[in-house]
Structure 1
Amino acid sequence: MIIGNEIHKYRDEITTGISELVQIRSIMADPEPGKPFGAGVDRALQHMLRLAESLGFEVTNVDGYAGHAEYGQGEEIAAVLVHLDTVEEGEGWTVSPFAGLIENGKIIGRGASDNKGPAVVALYALKTLMDIGITGNRRLRVIFGTNEESGMRDLDYYFEREQLPVMAFAPDAGYPIFNVEMGSMNVVLSSEQEASSTRPKPQLTILSLKGGNMLTLIPQICTASLSLALLTDSQVAYFHDAVNLQENLSFTYDEDGNLLLTAGSEFLADSPTGSRNAIANMVAFLCAQELTTNWDPFLHFLNEKIGAERSGQSLGIACSDSESGALIVYLRTISCDLHRAESLSNIRYPVSHDGAGILATVDGLAGKHGIHIELTRHLLPVYVPETHPVIVRLSRAYKKMTGDEAVLLRMGAGTYARKLRNNGVAFGAGLPGGVDTHVHQADEFVYIDDMMKHAEICLQGMYELLVDELMTES
């Protein structure tokens, strides 16, 4: 049975619903009583639960951590998992990030694509199933999460108190189906400056060094403030020449006479700093200048053991498997001042390997260089085999609505599938060959037509999860 097209009767309501939800600034903030991730996130959760109630659903709010709307009967549960929190708005917007502007066939605003659009669609898909009167042997929930962007602690709490779905999907990536999500660890490497009366003063003093942020995986800019006071005139001239030889570096001076160095991320194929990672470019340049700095051991470790290398070979952690490919390491952020230096690296490892063992290897190597490590986030890998019922059913839904076979894909990023104990996958909402909707960037948007195409597939997928296989052709 094909029902995906039935969702189009709610096109206007979906458009308005996305716009209204975008207008709620649901960014994680300090907790308040009953609002573990702040008032804004809680407003978004309350808004969606009220909307679900108005559509005729029973709803549950699990202490402000997450909530759900439910349809159907049965002991088992299937689910669609969406999130209502967003990253911060950031800079560079040409419109108000929380206006929910509807213009030229688009809805523009923070969260329109990630993940408020799919959240509203999932609720109206559930409503469509109710309208048609389709029931199966299990209940179907739309679960509204509130902490996906900042650690997924919401679903840890939720599933300690609510039943785990036997099948589920998160429309928070793209089509067709992502059945592999690599293990992901955020590891902070840090070093503290120790006072020493015998240590010679560095020739090049790094006053500050900063690059990257948590919104983007590959840092585009890295900046350094450097004191050249202890350099000779010839050393300063040589340093200037070295900067000018690098197309991805530029400099100016501040009012105190400190040199402000900026590294970009453009690709330089024949350069030792040839990487799209601005932090790797900056660190490699500083390490190549034959000038001592106040952070030499730290910078040389980053340069020699990570740098522009993505395989983890120099860290001793390179590995791969047939399901998810090779391990990947990224330098993601760096922050140094006169007292402390730290850099966050993201390690994405294959599903068949042990994250704890990989971390222990990094810890041992870093310790030998006087560098401390701290694991700040660890998302366990996801691997759902192609024979799993959720893959079979969603593949059927995808083919019914598109005519194409559902190719199984893998990703290094993470979705709520991480919390489903290999009973769920990422399915949608981005269309194959679709446009860049500026997720986590300025002027995030979604095309209404694209969201409605996703709505067709989403509804069909929810139908396939709700109804047993023998009933699907009735």
Structure 2
Amino acid sequence: MSWTIQAKQYETDLINDLNQIIRIPSVLDSKTQTPQTPFGIDMVRALSKMEEFANRDGFRYGRVDNMVTWIEFGPADAPETLGILTHIDVVPAGDGWLRQPFNPEILDGLYFGRGAADMKADLMSAYYALKMLADQGRVLQRKVRLIIGTDEENGWRDIPCYLAQEGEPTFGFSPDGAFPVVNGEKAFQTVQLRFPSVSEGPYILERFMSGSRANVVPGEAKARINVPQGMLIAEDFANFLKQYPFLEGNVQQAGETVRLTLFGVQAHGAYPADGKNAGTYLAQFLQQYPFGGDAHAFLNFLGTTVHRDIYAKNLGLAYHDKEMGDLTLNVGVMRYSHRGQGTILLNFRYPKGVNIQAIVTQVQRHLGDLTADVTVVQAGMPPHLVAADDELVTTLSAVYAEQTGQYLPPRTSNGGSYARLLKRGVAFGGQFPDVKVTSHQANEFTPVANLTCAMAIFAESIWRLCR
């Protein structure tokens, strides 16, 4: 019986367990952060639920600092370990959902819910791969640890603590990417611009807000402006929306106060071309009015310099590496408050051959009239590459090719997975090549059939690497 047929028998149970995980809104929550709940109470609830499954199914398990849960199968005293690095945290749901993001549903063969693509579904497919091997009584020579983090979407403060206490696996993969094998991951780094925000002239930018995470293309932007008496904005805004039919928005005006809301397309910041940045589009619209002072510089930088410039050409940072691809830019967070403080977060993904100091220098050179301090605010990661002829890469590639009937060579990703924290770590699954990428987007989904397809690939991969 094939691995795929065997895995299919677990589909109902897998979905039932996945539903329980999806229903826990495991988003970073500062309101419930304590030493006992370092990233919020829902993160701990999610880890506890995974431990409940592990206990039910007879696996060894443990927890590190209420940040990471590990679940283990295979000989406990084995000298070598295969690590499967995952995370159970998700980005905020955002707007644009047709149904409740934390109330999973299956519609037309698609499983919807926040985390369906990134990465609760793949976590459960990996867990059930272990369960199937255990149910079959497979005897492994290496032990396997499913390692579940809770801070991947934010500061990556979890897995380093795990590695410091538990040690580094011999090698491993993270099902937090795509099939086939992703043996290279670009560096990522977030750069912050801080600047004064005093508007001058007949038009005053009171407030501008867009984005909540550096690694997400903002799907919504809001602005409040003051305009001269009798000046109407609604017609201009309607004409702007006609120019860009993929945008939606509304305008409310009461006397001299105008409130604008613009909806773009939210996407993963690693792939900014998949989204439509509501913040930079709104800045582009507002540029037509005579804002003065810091407001003018802010809108010009967003609406012209970095608008739709996903390869950072306007910053003098266009760069291509033949092995790892292009440098990319996502404008993830934009804030402006009149007589307060302005902030912009720029998230860069870049191949070997680029360094963060060069990025900071080029941003500083292309600020225009924006008087900003430019700093690196997120402890990013350097480029990561595992040789294509490594046993890990060749084994995973062979399993994927045999189960799908299609060989695809290893490749490089813009995204960052926990695999890069291992010397011999790669991303592997669970995004299939023919499926639309919906990570970090509204109405996130994964095909139901792919849950057990990925599970079968993971199970055979574990078996081949550990037998």
| Range into which the TM-score falls when normalised by the shorter chain | 0.7 to 0.9
Pair 55,244 (structure 1): closer, same or farther in 2 beyond 3 Å: closer
CA separation in 2, counterparts of 1:399 and 1:352? Answer: 32
Pair 465,211 (structure 1): closer, same or farther in 2 beyond 3 Å: same
Report the counterpart of residue 127 of structure 2 in structure 1.
123
Report the counterpart of residue 103 of structure 2 in structure 1.
99
* Residue 28 in structure 1 maps to residue 28 in structure 2: yes
Pair 415,189 (structure 1): closer, same or farther in 2 beyond 3 Å: same
Pair 218,144 (structure 1): closer, same or farther in 2 beyond 3 Å: closer
CA separation in 2, counterparts of 1:329 and 1:86? Answer: 22
* Residue 151 in structure 1 maps to residue 155 in structure 2: yes
* Residue 375 in structure 1 maps to residue 379 in structure 2: no
Pair 291,443 (structure 1): closer, same or farther in 2 beyond 3 Å: closer
Q: Secondary structure at the match of 2:133?
A: helix
1:164, distance to aligned residue in structure 2 (A): 1.3
Q: Secondary structure at the match of 1:192?
A: strand
Report the counterpart of residue 178 of structure 2 in structure 1.
174
Task: Indicate the larger mover: 350-359 or 214-223.
Answer: 214-223
Pair 192,123 (structure 1): closer, same or farther in 2 beyond 3 Å: same
1:367, distance to aligned residue in structure 2 (A): 10
Report the counterpart of residue 64 of structure 2 in structure 1.
62
Alpha-carbon contact 2:214-2:330 (below 8 Å) kept: no
Alpha-carbon contact 1:212-1:221 (below 8 Å) kept: yes
CA separation in 2, counterparts of 1:66 and 1:87? Answer: 18
Gaps of 5+ in 1: 195-199, 267-274, 468-474
* Amino acid paired to 1:381: P
Pair 138,307 (structure 1): closer, same or farther in 2 beyond 3 Å: same
Q: Secondary structure at the match of 2:435?
A: coil
Alpha-carbon contact 1:4-1:459 (below 8 Å) kept: no
Alpha-carbon contact 1:332-1:346 (below 8 Å) kept: yes
Q: Secondary structure at the match of 2:145?
A: strand
Report the counterpart of residue 418 of structure 2 in structure 1.
416
Alpha-carbon contact 2:403-2:457 (below 8 Å) kept: yes
TM-score by length of 1: 0.84
Pair 40,337 (structure 1): closer, same or farther in 2 beyond 3 Å: same
Report the counterpart of residue 435 of structure 2 in structure 1.
434
Gaps of 5+ in 2: 266-274
Report the counterpart of residue 270 of structure 2 in structure 1.
none
Report the counterpart of residue 268 of structure 2 in structure 1.
none
TM-score by length of 2: 0.85
Tell me the percent identity: 27
Alpha-carbon contact 2:234-2:251 (below 8 Å) kept: no
Alpha-carbon contact 2:190-2:346 (below 8 Å) kept: yes
CA separation in 2, counterparts of 1:145 and 1:118? Answer: 13
Report the counterpart of residue 315 of structure 1 in structure 2.
315
Of 42, 45, 48 in structure 1, the residue corresponding to residue 44 of structure 2 is 42
Task: Indicate the larger mover: 93-102 or 72-81.
Answer: 93-102
Which aligned pairs between 1:354-393 and structure 2 lie closer than 5 A?
354-363=355-364, 366=367, 369-377=370-378, 378-393=380-395
Pair 244,69 (structure 1): closer, same or farther in 2 beyond 3 Å: closer
CA separation in 2, counterparts of 1:290 and 1:21? Answer: 50
CA separation in 2, counterparts of 1:449 and 1:392? Answer: 25
Of 85, 104, 124 in structure 1, the residue corresponding to residue 89 of structure 2 is 85
Report the counterpart of residue 460 of structure 1 in structure 2.
460
Alpha-carbon contact 2:388-2:394 (below 8 Å) kept: yes
Computing the radius of gyration from Cα coordinates, the structure with the larger value is 1
Report the counterpart of residue 214 of structure 1 in structure 2.
213
Q: Secondary structure at the match of 1:46?
A: helix
Pair 154,291 (structure 1): closer, same or farther in 2 beyond 3 Å: closer
Alpha-carbon contact 1:19-1:107 (below 8 Å) kept: no
* Amino acid paired to 1:450: N
Aligned CA RMSD, in angstroms, stands at 3.1
1:219, distance to aligned residue in structure 2 (A): 3.3
Q: Secondary structure at the match of 1:113?
A: coil
1:103, distance to aligned residue in structure 2 (A): 6.1
Pair 40,263 (structure 1): closer, same or farther in 2 beyond 3 Å: closer
Alpha-carbon contact 2:72-2:144 (below 8 Å) kept: yes
1:416, distance to aligned residue in structure 2 (A): 1.6
* Residue 71 in structure 1 maps to residue 73 in structure 2: yes
* Amino acid paired to 2:226: S
1:99, distance to aligned residue in structure 2 (A): 3.5
* Amino acid paired to 2:23: Q
